[in-house]
């Protein structure tokens, strides 16, 4: 085995990583780093592609891949890393994924790799996650998937999905822990200088909800709702503002956002609260009042439930981060075209 790799002898479980075109560099690097660390050990690693040869990588040089989709036929675990602009893959890819799952392979996605599993129907009626930024699109495109963007990763039996980018490392270490126990996972996490198990989820990193584009509803409705978050808004008020019946509003809202109007409102209120906690010195009571989130006690409970941190802990962690990032981002500001 390679220097520093945990001491496990014997080979067995075959991991096959499917590199789709414009695979994200970090997403494919994570499973290769975790499962490819073994010269002799519990895993063997193979990378395959739809067409062997040079596979474009977003954020890195092209990969030279020698194995085609036939490699999936002997995989014990198939991992699909995220890829740029996750359109449905070709029928050859989806059929190969379906066959692998039907044969009993464990199916895993990292970040936007969930779109490939969803296109193959492997996430239907299952809980799944992806990068929080792409979660609304996943919910719209594949309404049979129970999307949970707040989670770092989700184990739904033979199908596992992870959130954005580094959440893939959490999932890969979890697979090692599930397969071989905490001791080996902890040894590997020390070698990788990574937490063996992170608490919380993606929720603290989720940005403010924005109006979908294209949209089933007028832009003015979303803008009006965001201006009036301090008010006790109802579905009927939203319907009146949009000029639709209640039923039509709910249907179109779900088509836009993948969620009911009141859930979107809760997310919008919490996003405004995060913004105020990051950028102002308002008290918790004032933030709750400004966002329509009730009493300070109710606000603290709701914030912790959805974001995973108390308002005070969130402010300590994130206050000032946007100002510090401004020089890196140059002149581009949130919402700029």
- The domain that holds 62 is classified in CATH as 3.40.50.880
Q: Is residue 3 part of a domain?
A: no
Q: Is residue 1 part of a domain?
A: no
Same domain, residue pair 136 and 81: yes
Residue at a domain's end among 203, 232, 258: 203
Residue 91 confidence (pLDDT) above 80: yes
Same domain, residue pair 127 and 223: no
| Residue 137: domain span | 13-203
Q: Is residue 228 part of a domain?
A: yes
Q: Is residue 51 part of a domain?
A: yes
Same domain, residue pair 159 and 278: no
Q: Is residue 334 part of a domain?
A: no
Pairwise CA distance, residues 147 & 166, whole Å: 19
Please give the pLDDT value at position 88.
Answer: 93
| CATH number of the domain bearing residue 281 | 1.10.10.60
Torsion sign over Cα 102, 55, 82, 154:
positive
Residue at a domain's end among 203, 231, 266: 203
Q: Return the CA Rg of the chain.
A: 22
Q: Is residue 122 part of a domain?
A: yes
Same domain, residue pair 171 and 271: no
Phi, psi of 21 (to 5 degrees): -60, 135
Same domain, residue pair 172 and 44: yes
* pTM of the shown model: 0.63
Pairwise CA distance, residues 249 & 62, whole Å: 46
Same domain, residue pair 176 and 82: yes
Going by the DSSP 8-state scheme, the letter that residue 57 receives in this structure is E
Please give the pLDDT value at position 117.
Answer: 98
Q: Is residue 260 part of a domain?
A: yes
Same domain, residue pair 266 and 137: no
Please give the pLDDT value at position 315.
Answer: 85
Same domain, residue pair 190 and 314: no
Residue 198 confidence (pLDDT) above 70: no
Binning pLDDT at 50, 70 and 90, where does residue 203 land?
low
Of the candidates 38, 25, 3, 20, the one whose C-alpha atom is nearest the C-alpha of residue 179 is 38
Cβ-based neighbour number of residue 91 at 10 Å: 10
Same domain, residue pair 157 and 242: no
Same domain, residue pair 35 and 162: yes
Pairwise CA distance, residues 91 & 253, whole Å: 31
The residue-averaged pLDDT of 38-52 equals 87
Pairwise CA distance, residues 259 & 62, whole Å: 38
Helix (H, G, I), strand (E, B) or coil at 269: helix
Phi, psi of 63 (to 5 degrees): -90, 140
Q: Is residue 286 part of a domain?
A: yes
Residue 278 confidence (pLDDT) above 60: yes
Same domain, residue pair 166 and 20: yes
Of the candidates 107, 60, 111, 61, the one whose C-alpha atom is nearest the C-alpha of residue 83 is 111
Same domain, residue pair 161 and 51: yes
Binning pLDDT at 50, 70 and 90, where does residue 232 land?
very high
Q: 39-48, 111-120, 134-143, 247-256: which has the highest mean pLDDT? A: 111-120
Helix (H, G, I), strand (E, B) or coil at 146: strand
Binning pLDDT at 50, 70 and 90, where does residue 7 land?
very low
Tell me the pLDDT tens digit for each residue of 312-321.
Answer: 988 887 665 4
| Domain count within the chain | 2
Residue at a domain's end among 147, 177, 203: 203
């Amino acid at each position: 085995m390679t220097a520093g790799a945990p001491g496990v002898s014997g080979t067995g479980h075959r991991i096959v990583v499917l590199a789709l075109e414009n695979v994200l560099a970090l997403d494919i690097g994570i499973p290769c780093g975790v499962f490819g660390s073994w010269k002799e050990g519990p895993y063997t690693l193979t990378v395959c592609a739809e067409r062997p040869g040079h596979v474009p990588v977003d954020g890195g040089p092209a990969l030279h891949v020698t194995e085609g989709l036939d490699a999936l036929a002997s995989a014990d675990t198939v991992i699909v890393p995220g890829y740029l602009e996750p359109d449905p893959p070709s029928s050859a890819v989806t059929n190969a994924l379906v066959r692998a799952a039907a044969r009993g392979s464990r199916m895993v996605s990292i970040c936007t790799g969930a779109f490939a599993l969803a296109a193959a129907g492997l996430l239907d009626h299952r809980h799944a996650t992806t990068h929080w930024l792409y979660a609304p699109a996943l919910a719209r495109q594949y309404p049979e998937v129970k999307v949970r963007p707040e989670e770092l990763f989700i184990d739904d039996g033979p199908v596992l999905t992870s959130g954005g980018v580094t959440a893939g490392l959490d999932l890969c270490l979890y697979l090692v822990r599930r397969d071989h126990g905490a001791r080996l996972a902890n040894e590997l996490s020390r070698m990788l200088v990574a937490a063996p198990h992170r608490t919380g989820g993606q929720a603290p990193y989720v940005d403010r909800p924005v109006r979908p584009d294209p949209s089933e509803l007028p832009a003015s409705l979303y803008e009006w709702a965001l201006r009036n978050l301090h008010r006790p808004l109802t579905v009927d008020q939203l319907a009146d503002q949009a000029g639709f019946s209640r039923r039509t509003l709910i249907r179109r809202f779900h088509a836009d956002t993948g969620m009911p109007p009141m859930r979107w409102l809760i997310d919008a209120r919490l996003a405004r609260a995060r913004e105020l906690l990051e950028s102002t010195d308002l008290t918790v009571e004032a933030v709750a009042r400004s966002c329509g989130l009730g009493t300070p006690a109710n606000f603290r409970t709701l914030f912790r439930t959805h974001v995973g941190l108390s308002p005070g802990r969130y402010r300590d962690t994130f206050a000032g981060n946007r100002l510090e990032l401004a020089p890196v981002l140059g002149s581009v500001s949130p919402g700029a075209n």
